[in-house]
Structures are given as C-alpha cells and as structure tokens.
Amino acid sequence: MSSEAWSEASERGRPALRVERRAGCAVLTLDRPESLNSLGSPLVEALDEACAAIEDDPAVRGVLIRGSGRSFCAGGDLAEARRARASGPGGAGRYFATISAVLSRIERLPVPTVAVVHGWAVAGGLELVLCCDLVLAADTARFGDAHARCGLVPGGGGSVRLPRRIGVNRANWLTYTGESVSAATMQQWGLVAEVLPEGELWAGADRLAATLGRRSGAGLRAMKHLSDVGGRLAVDEALALEGAVCARHAESADAAEGFAAFADKREPGFAS
C-alpha cells in the first residue's frame, strides 16, 4: 500500500485509531484516551479497516498495537453495549460479536503482531492482547479479565485464548475473580515476553519495530503461518508442514540474499 493510502487509512480512522508506518511496521494506536481506549464501534471499524490495509500490503513486516493516554485498553464500551441491549433482543450480543470478529482478524494477520501495553489491559483489552503474537509491557501495567466485576462473561475469545496462553488454573482464577495481576506476573505466567520500565516502553517498541523491519518479510509471513497452523496440527502433520514451507522458502530471493550475506559477512538487505 502506498504512503498516500496509509495516510487516507489514518484519516478514516480518526479520532478512534491512528495508523502509522514505522521501520517497515504498521503502528496502530488506539486513540480514545477519555474512555481508556474502550472498544466502541468507531474504533472497532477502524481496526477492521487497518487489518484490510495490512493484509494487502506485502511490505509490512509487523504490527504494533498500543494505546494512547493512561492505558492500553479497558475493554468493551459498556455504555454502547448497554444502548445496544436496550435496542432490542440480541442487540448486546451483536455488539460483542462484532468485536470478537475483528479481534480474530487481528489474530489471523499474516505478519507478527505485538501488543505494547501500559496502564490497564482488562476484559476486551486483555482479549486484544491475547490475539497478538508478542507482548511488551510497562512494569506498571495491569492485566485482568474483569468481566465478572460487571456480571458479564467473555465475548471476545477470552475463555478460549486465555487458558491456552497461561494455563487453565490461572485463567480460571482471573476469570472467576475479576482480579488483575502485574506485568511481572504475566511474564512469569508466559503471556508477556518483556517487561520494561514505563518510561522506556515506547523506545523498546521502536527497537522491536526496527528489528522486524530488517527481517525478511516473506520469512516472517512463513513463520507466522507455521506458528498459527502448525500449533493446531498433530506433531507429524506440523513437521510435514514445516518441511514443505522451509523447502519452498529456501528457493526464494530472500533466502538467496541471506546465504549471500552470510558468505560476505554483511547484513542482508531483503527485497520483500
């Protein structure tokens, strides 16, 4: 996608979402700070548009998702959900189903996705984190399910993805109690890859974006495919898939550049 198209996507997304390009990565900033970036319909629609742009752009090496203001994301917009419920039978269900569909689309993006978390990531905010491949968090960040506090149940994939990421017992504790835990605890439980001092979080995200931007786009997409699909297959089937993808990628221009750069003792410059 051209820089003009990215600019148009950013304009369409305002004020709920800011869309930028940085070091070969797409940076999506949830921009509803007055509501702790709750997932109202304009923001959800803007995320859906951004996903479409990313899917169509082979130059994107990765996606960083972050929040503006004091928090990453406080979950669904309960005021909107309440209005949807009052609109008639099934209204609230349709609102939550729309969020769930967009979160699944984020999970299926063909490149690595990174949640950059500060402040609160609770309920739908935690469900958004769970759809990302990597999580960077400020040392002051808090994670929780929180649906139980409002008499609700997860509707954005939390009951499915959370136990797969941190284990059934820990997931049940978060879900049933509605309590939150620290970034350090979530790192211990396996969800968070790196915890950084709050003042260094954005710099750490920029470093990761720069690293992804130097990698082979085709290689990253192949590895994302293996991670997504291989994780759902039996071991023998997953190994066969890996072998086929590896053999195909070994014939690519990026693989040729990687071999040449190794032989020349230089950094590779990948075409894709």
Give the model confidence (pLDDT) of 242-266 as tens digits.
Answer: 999 999 999 999 999 999 999 999 9
**Given this model, what pLDDT does residue 23 score?**
86
What is d(CA 205, CA 196) in angstroms, rounded to the nearest whole number? Answer: 10
Q: Superfamily for 3-214? A: 2-enoyl-CoA Hydratase; Chain A, domain 1 (3.90.226.10)
Domain ranges in the chain?
A: 3-214, 217-264
Contact 165, 134 (CB under 8 A): no
Residues present in the chain in total: 272
Q: Which tens digits make up the pLDDT trace of 193-229?
A: 999 999 999 999 999 999 999 999 999 999 999 999 9
The pTM of this model reads 0.91
**Given this model, what pLDDT does residue 14 score?**
54
Question: What would the two tokens of residue 127 be?
Answer: 């469900």
Q: Where are the alpha helices (DSSP H) in 41-123?
A: 41-55, 78-86, 91-107
Contacts of 261 (CB under 8 A, 6+ apart): 267, 268, 269
Report strand pairing: 113-117 vs 134-138.
parallel
Please name the residue that has the structure tokens 């690293």: 211
Q: CA 172 → CA 166, 207, 229, distances in Å?
A: 10, 34, 26
3 state SS of 151: coil
Burial class from Cβ neighbours inside 10 Å (0-12, 13-18, 19+) for residue 192 reads buried
Chosen CATH of 217-264 out of 1.10.101, 3.30.160, 3.40.50, 1.10.12? 1.10.12
Domain 3-214 matches domain 217-264 at the CATH topology level: no
Q: Where are the beta strands (DSSP E) in the chain?
A: 17-22, 25-30, 62-67, 113-117, 120-122, 134-138, 142-144, 180-182, 194-196
**Given this model, what pLDDT does residue 116 score?**
98
Does residue 7 have a pLDDT over 90?
no
> What's 58's DSSP letter?
T
Q: CA 189 → CA 90, 179, 181, 238, distances in Å?
A: 36, 15, 10, 25
In a 13 Å sphere around the CA of 199, the CA atoms on its Cβ side amount to 0
Beta bridge partners of 194: 136
